[in-house]
Amino acid sequence: MDDGIPHPDGARTDEGACPRCGSAVEPGDAFCEECGAPLRGGTAPAAAVPRAVAAPYPWQAPARACVECGAEAIGADGYCQRCGTRQPGDRDHLELDVAGVGAASDKGLRHSRNEDAMAVTRLDTGVVAVVSDGVSSSPRPEDASQAAADTGLAVLGERLSAGDDPEAATRAAVERAAASVTDLAESEFHAPACTYVSAYVTSAGITVGWVGDSRAYWLADDTAPVREGPGDGSGSVLLTEDDSWAGRMVAWGVMSEQEAQADAKAHVLTGWLGADAGELDPRVRTFVPPGPGAVVVCSDGLWNYLPEADTLRAAAPDARIDPSGTAAALVRRALEAGGHDNVTVVVVPFPPPEQTNRERER
């Protein structure tokens, strides 16, 4: 997330830009603070992106060579101790198929690392999906998002399996996820931060919970009846409301969605997870679809390019029948549109796929 919590940034010129990632740099800097690229001796080549997941932290493998200078001197923080280049991580690009649920994530074209995280599981009663987007202006945003996604999924699975009401379980999961991110902080002034959105999809309906501006959408099949109420008239609808400056302007009726999103302050968060977030105010909603379709849970790296439910549905016509292909295609769509941010997409068919007897026995 590029915008997130506002932070000071002095005026820069084109000459003060990193040749690899384009981030602003100061005269005399030896390395880019964003991606670690060396700033002397010519333009740094783009790092190779691993497409297979090996270990949780692949830079900790013995004798791993730096992608920039070739030195076998990768530190525990993921940076080369000789040239300072940050090494690509296992989250740079992921594509998952979890028992009929599709998920994909990519670091995008402007970031040196993927600060998004996702987690998906299937219960006897339905599917749980969580997406979290680290706030880039905070320290360790990739750790914040991973902690939130992992904790949220674990708590939701535990509470739902114990028979808790979906809305109560969703609130409990958000609260525990927030606590896990708060625990990462060295102080209130050095606090990792992230957004959070979850969806619990059953044959009876969809329960979503969120803090921040990651979103959940309902995409109706073309054959589904048009529903009454909020939406674009096609039956598809945005299930969440952004905790952001733009979201607040729209909620107050001050601006239209298009006007608010065009403002430079659009993505400034009014709610997030972290030690500096203030009072936690998770929001929860249950939606009963009028027919078959799919749920899309995503970070703003996708919806920045496809914000309206109808345009998203048009870009994902096979979401229900091919969730994995759709998740990968939507990530590619965001990259082709500019890839300015990390992008994460989870696609859950509705009704959700049923577990087989063999899967229940595992």
Taking residue 57's Cβ as centre, other Cβ atoms within 10 Å add up to 13
Residue 345 has pLDDT above 70, yes or no: yes
Does 30 score more than 60 pLDDT? no
Identify the weakest region by mean pLDDT among 18-32, 53-67, 226-240, 241-255.
Answer: 53-67
pLDDT score recorded for residue 7: 32
Mean pLDDT calculated for residue range 286-301 = 96
Task: Give the CA distances from residue 24 to residues 16, 32, 39, 109, 148, in Å, rounded to whole numbers and listed in that order.
Answer: 6, 8, 11, 16, 29
What's the whole-model pTM score?
0.74
Instruction: For residues 182 and 188, give the distance between their C-alpha atoms in angstroms, rounded to a whole number.
Output: 9
For the chain, domain boundaries: 16-48+54-89, 93-361
As given in the structure block, the two tokens for residue 99 are 């028992």
pLDDT digits (tens, 9 = 90+) for 243-290: 877 777 877 787 777 777 777 777 788 899 999 998 998 999 999 999
Give the model confidence (pLDDT) of 200-234 as tens digits: 999 999 999 999 999 999 999 975 444 444 444 45
**Token pair belonging to 15:** 């000459």
What's 93-361's CATH class?
A: alpha beta
DSSP states of 235-270: S-EE-----BHHHHHHHTTSS-HHHHHHSTTTT-BS
CA dist., res. 1 & res. 192, Å (int): 13
DSSP string, 125-138: S-EEEEEEEB-TTS
> For residue range 299-331, what is the model confidence (pLDDT) as tens digits?
999 999 999 999 999 999 999 999 999 999 999
H-only helix segments in the chain: 141-161, 166-182, 245-251, 257-262, 300-303, 309-315, 323-336, 357-361
Q: Tell whether the model's pLDDT for residue 68 goes beyond 80.
A: no
User: What's the pLDDT score for residue 120?
Assistant: 96
Give the tokens for residue 95. Answer: 């594509």
Share of the chain above pLDDT 70, in %: 74
Percent of the chain whose predicted confidence (pLDDT) is above 90 = 56
Mean pLDDT of 56-66: 46
CA-based nearest residue to 284, from 213, 216, 210: 210
Q: Which two tokens stand for residue 294?
A: 């799919």
Contact 313, 236 (CB under 8 A): yes
- pLDDT at residue 18 is higher than 80: no
Find the mean pLDDT for residues 74-95. 79
Of the two residues 356 and 148, the one the predictor is more confident about is 148
Contact between residue 258 and residue 170 where contact means Cβ atoms under 8 Å apart: no
**Considering the chain, what is the average pLDDT of its residues?**
81
Instruction: Evaluate whether 238 touches 197 at the Cβ level (below 8 Å).
Output: no
DSSP, collapsed to helix, strand or coil, labels residue 175 as helix
Q: Looking at residue 213, what is its pLDDT? A: 95
Residue 85, φ and ψ in degrees, nearest 5 = -75, 130
Residue 24 corresponds to which tokens in the numbers above? Answer: 């602003």
d(CA 216, CA 309): 10
Peptide bond into 349 cis (omega under 30): no
Q: Residue 28: is its pLDDT beyond 80?
A: no
How does pLDDT run across 123-178, given as a tens digit for each residue? 999 999 999 999 999 999 999 999 999 999 999 999 999 999 999 999 999 999 99
